[in-house]
Amino acid sequence: MRKERQAFSREFKVEAVRLLEEGKKPAAEVARELGIRRNQLYKWKEATDKQGGEAFPGQGRRKSTGTQAEEISKLKRELERVKEENEILKKAAAFFARELK
């Protein structure tokens, strides 16, 4: 299952890049401590190098609107229902398997 996309503040990104540039720890360790992927850290550094103080101006990707958002919401509800039904069927199968012995 896919995880929900995380949103990081501008300050968080700037501080992460500062820690990377400080060079006291390897990039992998900095990323692990911050709970992000190493390649994301490098992308943030690249954006900072290219855009300087103008890096990270917005709030990331815009949320989907209209019918696409409705469809996603509908599919999430249906997925939860199917998962619940699946769990019930697993328990029923285990119960009847015990009864047959």
Q: How confident is the model at residue 5, as a pLDDT?
A: 72
Q: What's CA 32's distance to the chain center, in Å?
A: 15
Q: If we measure between CA atoms, which residue out of 52, 66, 72 comes closest to residue 5?
A: 72
Residue-level pLDDT, tens digit, the chain, 101 residues: 566 677 888 889 989 999 999 888 899 999 999 999 999 999 999 988 988 878 887 765 555 566 888 888 899 999 999 999 999 999 999 999 888 77
Tokens 């696409």 correspond to what residue?
Answer: 68
Q: Is 48 exposed, middle or buried (0-12, 13-18, 19+ CB in 10 A)?
A: buried
- Determine which helix (DSSP H) or strand (DSSP E) holds 76, and give its type and residue range: helix 67-100
Q: Is the pTM of this model over 0.85?
A: no
Q: How confident is the model at residue 69, as a pLDDT?
A: 82
- Determine which helix (DSSP H) or strand (DSSP E) holds 32, and give its type and residue range: helix 27-34
